[in-house]
Chain A
Amino acid sequence: MYTAPHIVLPQIPNLHRIDTYLANGGYAAYRKALSMTPDQVIDEVKRSGLRGRGGACFPTGLKWSFMPKGNDKPKYLAINGDESEPGSFKDRQIFESNPHQLIEGILIAGYAMGVKQAFIYIRGEYHKWVNMMEDAVREAYDKGYVGERMKQTFGGDYTIDIVVHKGAGAYICGEETSLMNSLEGDRAYPRFKPPFPANKGLWGMPTTINNVETIATVPAILSMGADAYSKIGAPGHAGTILYGVSGHVNKPGVYELPTGALLTDIIQNVCGGVPGNKKVKAVIPGGSSMPPLRGDEIEGVRMDEESLKVLGTHIGTAGIMVMDEDTDIVKVTLRIARFYHHESCGQCTPCREGCGWMEKVLHRIEHGDATSSDIDLLLNVASNIEGNTICALGDAAAWPVRGFILKFREEFEARCKPQRNYISLNVVHGRRATADTLTRSY
């Protein structure tokens, strides 16, 4: 088992109240940041090795350094709490049990980049958690930790305002440029990059978009120092990470463990194993868009981006979905394809049409009406979506379909007819109305 520090989700009761948070050293990290220059803060985050927790694992400090210096234009910070990837449910825990650490992280990030206004975008289904976050922000305003009164609380003249914005049920809003359009009050279509958000983001101004967990980690980095933080977890992907484990395990839930934890350890020890002591057939390591691993290849797999990359998959949002030996892989693939078809925003043709075709073909395979050439057709459609769309939703739809076929092709083949059934085709053809049959009926 792991004895890692609980950095993002400390086990302290009532930590969601600002008084408890302050009593446990809250806002000390921000005071420490204020004693440094903004560039030193960015440098500290860079040296810590913190990588984004929203799925892309982009180095956070580097992202911050892309923001232009100076104050001639307003700059914005958007916190991505859309969390719609099936299998991820980690940010919810932060809104619920440690919202003030997120607020403190926003203060530090805002100070480092010279941002005066931040938006926390939370998915609409999280009504209760939006309210919790709003309560926390209100409490912070009332106590003078956010807004104009920061000048009295902390000294200096830096202030930041925080607005909690509630989404309305669209997976695509987790994509950063789509989130910006949604926040601006438009339909949430992703934007072309470049221009990148750091140059032209919200309302055309420099903007940084970070995941909730990423920002909630920042105060801990300032408190313990970049060197100490960079020693936690796997080299190349430092720190702790919130693993959200779901599916066929005895104790599903969110667990904060260091990066690079053994996947088998998480499943067997942390989550109490598979119900009925069944074997693991497949594991999706990082939310439904990530290519799966077969049950017989998870031995020794470490949960960090560099290790998973070698195996052709990614850590994504660390939403681990475990499937036991009785799972119908074709059905799971169909369900994932159906999700992406439903959530495609419809802007790019390869994704809009391709996701629909993947769902239809998978439906045919699931119903036993397909031939093995349909499996190759699926791979072909997947390859034609990937890389040909404005945002990554196309890739997210293509990867799991291709991943499941590559790893479990025999299951797909078993559902297919060995070759096309020409007889039933001829029956259909024979029933078609032709000039001949039409004239005869009169």
Chain B
Amino acid sequence: MTFTSDELATIATLKAQYPHPKAAIMPVLYMAQKKWGWISDDVVRTVADVMELPTSHVKGVASFYTMYFKKPMGKHHIQVCTNVSCMLRGGEAIYDHVKQRFGIGHNEATADGTISLEEVECMGACGGAPMIAINEDFYENVSLATVDAVIDGHVKKA
């Protein structure tokens, strides 16, 4: 489990952006997650090596933030917001619907690894509530009637 020489060059540029190279740990963890899918203990060791930091520090940072996955997630990671603004406009019903449709719960993935689900806190799209996000794409003003089409559309597009 190693970074390619191109990736190592990118990491070097990232480190040089900051007054202290340690600050590049978050972008490097994002790179690692993109490459290996989730932040396993092996990934933590690899990142610790390139960052020249103790593994405990890398693990500490990776586990602090919710967006670094601690276990394998699906190819299409569906995030449904149920915080107040979305809740007031039916976010919980959408979450329950997606849960039932794929038979998975919070932070779980389907057996074939295509879909995973997360009940997320506010994503900052309250004006388009209720909203869901799939991987990096926001879908606003979804409803029980349209949520299936939104998910299928995203899966087809990818």
Contacts and interface: CB of A to CB of B under 8 A. Distances in A.
Contacts of A182: 26
Given A88-B126, A165-B26, A247-B84, 9 more contacts: A86-B121, A127-B136, A166-B26, A168-B67, A187-B64, A248-B88, A252-B126, A339-B83, A339-B84
B126 A319 contact: yes
- A85, A87, A185, A244: residue with the most chain B Cβ atoms closer than 10 Å: A185
Contacts of A245: 127
Interface string B121-142: 1111111110001001110000
A209 interface: no
Contacts of B65: 124, 167-170, 188
- B22, B27, B123: residue with the most chain A Cβ atoms closer than 10 Å: B123
Contacts, number: 136
A387 B41 CA distance: 38
B85 A247 contact: yes
A89 B84 CA distance: 13
A335 B61 contact: no
B66 interface: yes
Contact of A247 (B20, B88, B122): B88
A288 B124 CA distance: 12
A335 B124 contact: no
Contact of A128 (B83, B85, B136): B136
A69 B125 CA distance: 40
A170 B66 contact: yes
A376 interface: no
Nearest to A188: B64
B119 to A, nearest CB: 10
Interface of B: 17-20, 22-27, 29-30, 57, 60-61, 64-68, 82-85, 87-89, 120-129, 133, 136-138
Contacts of B57: 186
A100 interface: no
Interface residues on A, range: 35 or more
Given A125-B133, A321-B88, A339-B122, A166 B27 contact: yes
27 contacts: A85-B122, A86-B84, A87-B122, A124-B67, A125-B123, A128-B136, A165-B23, A166-B27, A166-B30, A168-B29, A170-B64, A184-B22, A185-B20, A186-B57, A187-B60, A188-B65, A244-B126, A246-B126, A247-B126, A248-B89, A252-B127, A288-B84, A321-B126, A336-B84, A339-B83, A339-B84, A339-B121
B125 A184 contact: no
A167 B123 CA distance: 13
Interface of A: 74, 83-89, 92, 117, 123-128, 163, 165-171, 182-188, 202-203, 244-248, 252-254, 284, 288, 319, 321, 323, 327, 331-332, 335-336, 339, 342-343, 345
A185 B17 CA distance: 13
B138 A128 contact: yes
A185 B85 contact: no
B121 A87 contact: no
Given A124-B67, A323-B88, A87 B138 contact: no
Nearest to A129: B124
Nearest to B28: A185
A89 B81 CA distance: 14
A231 B29 CA distance: 47
A143 to B, nearest CB: 20
Nearest to B128: A252
B61 A246 contact: no
A72 to B, nearest CB: 15
A127 B125 CA distance: 13
A188 B63 CA distance: 11
B124 A123 contact: yes
B18 A327 contact: no
A81 B121 CA distance: 17
A86 B126 contact: yes
- B24, B30, B88: residue with the most chain A Cβ atoms closer than 10 Å: B88
Contacts of A186: 22, 57, 61
A342 B118 CA distance: 14
A89 B126 contact: yes
A343 B82 CA distance: 15
A163 B24 CA distance: 11
- A84, A125, A186, A327: residue with the most chain B Cβ atoms closer than 10 Å: A125
A128 B124 CA distance: 12
A171 B125 CA distance: 15
A125 to B, nearest CB: 5
A42 to B, nearest CB: 24
Contacts of B137: 128
A187 B64 CA distance: 6
A246 B136 contact: no
B127 A246 contact: yes
A345 B61 CA distance: 12
B124 A83 contact: yes
